[in-house]
Amino acid sequence: GIGLTAINQFSGINTVMYYSTTILMEAGFSRESAIWLAAMCCAAQLVGVIISVTSMDTIGRRATALRSCAGMVITLCLFATSFWCEGRTWD
């Protein structure tokens, strides 16, 4: 119900997506690489939204929301790992 929706909103994933280029540059990626990686993140988000919208009627809202929550956890862990690896260059 409402708790799952609140977790999705308060996770901060929208802020991370908005500042993804800056976050990736701070994590040690070059500007060009950060832009391309941010574009890939946005493309992955678009694919996920398309899959969610087309499958929501058959799978259900709760299962779709739980999947998106799991995706956010994975994404935020990857970003945290990128900061843990700060100081290394990936290019």
pTM over 0.75: no
Residue-level pLDDT at 91: 61
pLDDT digits (tens, 9 = 90+) for 4-41: 677 777 877 778 888 989 988 887 889 999 999 999 98
Q: Where are the beta strands (DSSP E) in the chain?
A: none
Assess contact for 27 and 86: CB atoms under 8 A.
yes
Residue-level pLDDT at 51: 86
Assess contact for 27 and 41: CB atoms under 8 A.
no
pLDDT digits (tens, 9 = 90+) for 40-63: 988 988 998 898 888 888 888 888
